[in-house]
Structure 1
Amino acid sequence: MPGALKWQDMEMPRPLDTLPKAHLHLHFTGSMRHSTLIELARDQGLHLPDALEQDWPPRLRATDERGWFRFQRLYDIARSVLSRPEHVYRLLRETAEDEAAAGSRWLEIQVDPSGYQHRFGGLTATLELMLDAAARAAEHAGVGVAVVVAANRTRHPLDANTLARLAGQYAGHGVVGFGLSNDERRGQARDFERAFRIAKRAGLLSVPHGGELLGPRSVAQCVDDLGADRVGHGVRAAEDPRLMRRLADRQICCEVCPTSNVGLGVAERAADVPLRTLFDAGVPIALGADDPLLFGTRLLRQYELAREVYGFDDAEIAELARQSVRSSAAPEHVRKEILKSIDAWLAGAPD
């Protein structure tokens, strides 16, 4: 019959939770389960605002200073429930379990230990606690877990230098990268150039945030001033074809977090996030969940959006997963194993 569909065209899409992948953009506090936040707050008699309890996930918009302040305030409140070492172990154990459920085989979780140092005996003790918790979580869930130490853009660059030296001491021992987070409107990339030189000399990946609340120039500064190997978010690079060509030519990955972009007002709706534009331009992409505690979705939902909103077929989704693995700091034998599993996922018949 003319125009009839072949049976191959009617195949059900492959399940995304069985697609092996890497998760490269996830923040420590923001990875907490909502149920854990509620339980820990109640156990300690801590009051949570409505936005973190009955009105969760909160309605956020951080494109103005007031909106970012509200976002940061909620984040700080969530951080306050993590007051004992066992809370750190629990958070990372549950996060690793959630990664495994999403098909993630490798996680690079970002943390600023200075936000916890007063509770856990200083910067070094805090980082060692988190590294031990990450190693135990990895063994528990069967997922590789590494740490990215991140400086805070709103603090003095000398603080970033201190963190970079600390991170470098643990290069090869659980720490794989050095980042720069918080409101990019409040700190020029060039101000942190020395910290990133320190981290690079130690063999760490350079993974600063950029191109989220500011435009393409923010991404270019991350590349030019900080030697970025990946850019956290980076979606505003899509506004500059020449910059996209640079990213594609140098295979500098953008850690794209669609749900987060909508949640913070970077995009009005998921369809406005330029995932397809970046992908078609050859820019490597690693889908990320950013802060599930505040945005309400985890890694798997980002892959569902790739299929449902951006029109990626299974071969393209498999390539997204490959790009996440290639852009990671996973050991070579781990990368090869995951890439082989991605090929097997694509070659296998859909369930």
Structure 2
Amino acid sequence: MGMRDLATLPKAHLHLHFTGSMRPTTLADLAAAQGLRVPSALLDGVPDVPADVRGWFRFQRLYESARAVVRSEGAMRRVLREAVADDAAEGSRRLEIQVDPTSYAPHVGGLVPALEIVLDEARLAGEATGVSVGVVVASSRMRHPLEARTLARLAARHAGDGPGAVVAFGLSNDERRGDTAEFASAFAIAARAGLPGVPHGGELLGPEHVRDVVTHLRPRRLGHGVRAAEDPALLDELARAGIACEVCPASNVSLGVFRESRHVPLRALIDAGVPVALGADDPLLFGSRLVQQYAAARVVHGLDDAAIAALARDSIGASLAPETDRRRWLTEVDAWLAAPAPTAPADAPAAGAAAR
């Protein structure tokens, strides 16, 4: 008996960063057009990160190199258009893509134009592909909390649930930097505009950091959250509160949080009743897209198709799409699972790719 095709499984992709979504070919094109050099690690097609060089600082250096080639409205639109197309090809019904417009503002005339470019292209790309696209405006822990307030106000002015609207407010970058409590006022500004909080937490730091984020930022979802598995009581708290974790196995391994994909505590989260939305995080750097995260759940963690479908339902339920859309997609997941499994294995990423 074969396994159902993961690329046809209806799902929501809730953890994808704007720059990190870039295709390597696009990175190469943009760099060549500007006479810029980028590290070979971004272009060599080798997704595995050697264990002895894994870590945040390597990642940050590569990310900044990639971001440096996105210097125009056209480049921004291309990156987003291709990200949506790539998700459409993997069965995503919903994409919530995260962007910090501060990074691109100097090249397009300011924060407002930078965000409006993203929102407009999100709408256009969604119409072209049929993918529902929401934008998460995210501040950085590396910058002053007052800048987070500025971004929260900007996000609030573009809040909504229609195509290409800002749907949430986030906080990203190195979890070890900044005081979480100092960002609470920015999240309060966003919340008054109806924007849920979706901050990163619990990847580089452990359970106490998760508690800190939950206490001060009152998140709807946690970016990563995997380190919560180290504290069963915390898992129970997250499950009771219905706080979903956006789990990105390839990211966890590449950053050295876990040595191998099998060590990512996916089953612990599921068994505790915590909603889990698998995400690719930064495919450009981690060499692994969304379907490969589902393949890892199947091949590495041993989840059968019923459990895989439950993960897809979790992702849809944790999304910020309109309720009518979510109901329709959940019905499509049921249809995927109800269909007979193929008699031969469906085309899917190889087990080696899934384990990254």
Query: Normalising to structure 2: TM-score of the pair?
Result: 0.92
Match of 1:317 in 2: 308
Q: Deviations over 1:77-98 (max 9, x none)?
A: 1011111211111111111111
Task: Note the C-alpha offset of 1:196.
Answer: 0.5
Return the alpha-carbon distance in structure 1 between the equivalents of residues 206 and 222 of structure 2: 13
Out of 17, 20, 32, the residue aligned to residue 10 of structure 2 is 20
Per mean C-alpha deviation after superposition, the further-off stretch among 182-191 and 231-240 is: 182-191
Match of 1:7 in 2: none
Match of 1:119 in 2: 107
Per mean C-alpha deviation after superposition, the further-off stretch among 202-211 and 55-64 is: 55-64
2:79 is aligned with 1:91: yes
2:182 is aligned with 1:191: yes
Task: Note the C-alpha offset of 1:62.
Answer: 11
Return the alpha-carbon distance in structure 2 between the equivalents of residues 269 and 229 of structure 1: 28
Out of 29, 36, 50, the residue aligned to residue 39 of structure 1 is 29
Q: Deviations over 1:244-273 (max 9, x none)?
A: 001111110000000000000010000000
Return the alpha-carbon distance in structure 1 between the equivalents of residues 263 and 53 of structure 2: 15
Per mean C-alpha deviation after superposition, the further-off stretch among 33-42 and 175-184 is: 33-42
Label 1:170 to 1:78 Cα distance change in 2 as closer, same or farther (>3 A): same
Q: Deviations over 1:46-82 (max 9, x none)?
A: 1112222337447377999xx4233212111101111
Return the alpha-carbon distance in structure 1 between the equivalents of residues 208 and 182 of structure 2: 15
2:242 is aligned with 1:256: no
SS in 2 for 1:205: coil
Match of 1:162 in 2: 150
Contact 1:58 1:294 (C-alpha < 8 Å) held by counterparts: no
Match of 1:134 in 2: 122
Contact 1:206 1:226 (C-alpha < 8 Å) held by counterparts: yes
Return the alpha-carbon distance in structure 1 between the equivalents of residues 52 and 284 of structure 2: 16
Identity between Structure 1 and Structure 2 (%) = 59
Return the alpha-carbon distance in structure 2 between the equivalents of residues 155 and 96 of structure 1: 28
SS in 2 for 1:203: coil
Return the alpha-carbon distance in structure 2 between the equivalents of residues 32 and 45 of structure 1: 18
Contact 1:20 1:104 (C-alpha < 8 Å) held by counterparts: yes
Contact 1:52 1:58 (C-alpha < 8 Å) held by counterparts: no
SS in 1 for 2:37: coil
2:59 is aligned with 1:71: yes
Gaps of 5+ in 1: 1-10
Contact 1:164 1:199 (C-alpha < 8 Å) held by counterparts: yes
Residue identity in the other structure for 1:51: A
Q: Deviations over 1:27-56 (max 9, x none)?
A: 000000011111111122111122223374
Contact 1:307 1:313 (C-alpha < 8 Å) held by counterparts: yes
2:222 is aligned with 1:234: no
Return the alpha-carbon distance in structure 1 between the equivalents of residues 172 and 74 of structure 2: 26
Contact 1:110 1:150 (C-alpha < 8 Å) held by counterparts: yes
Residue identity in the other structure for 2:123: A
Match of 2:214 in 1: 223
The number of residue pairs the alignment matches comes to 339
Match of 1:104 in 2: 92
Residue identity in the other structure for 1:108: E
Task: Note the C-alpha offset of 1:225.
Answer: 0.6
Label 1:69 to 1:60 Cα distance change in 2 as closer, same or farther (>3 A): farther
Residue identity in the other structure for 2:120: D
SS in 1 for 2:150: helix
Contact 1:60 1:264 (C-alpha < 8 Å) held by counterparts: no
Match of 1:8 in 2: none
Match of 1:4 in 2: none
Match of 2:43 in 1: 53
2:332 is aligned with 1:344: no
Contact 1:93 1:140 (C-alpha < 8 Å) held by counterparts: no
Return the alpha-carbon distance in structure 1 between the equivalents of residues 20 and 52 of structure 2: 16
SS in 2 for 1:231: strand
Contact 1:93 1:141 (C-alpha < 8 Å) held by counterparts: no
Return the alpha-carbon distance in structure 2 between the equivalents of residues 104 and 300 of structure 1: 9
Match of 2:134 in 1: 146
Gaps of 5+ in 2: 343-356
Report the aligned-residue RMSD: 1.5
Per mean C-alpha deviation after superposition, the further-off stretch among 294-303 and 183-192 is: 183-192
SS in 2 for 1:105: strand
Residue identity in the other structure for 1:125: P
Match of 1:283 in 2: 274
Residue identity in the other structure for 2:69: V
Contact 1:105 1:144 (C-alpha < 8 Å) held by counterparts: yes
Return the alpha-carbon distance in structure 1 between the equivalents of residues 283 and 187 of structure 2: 27
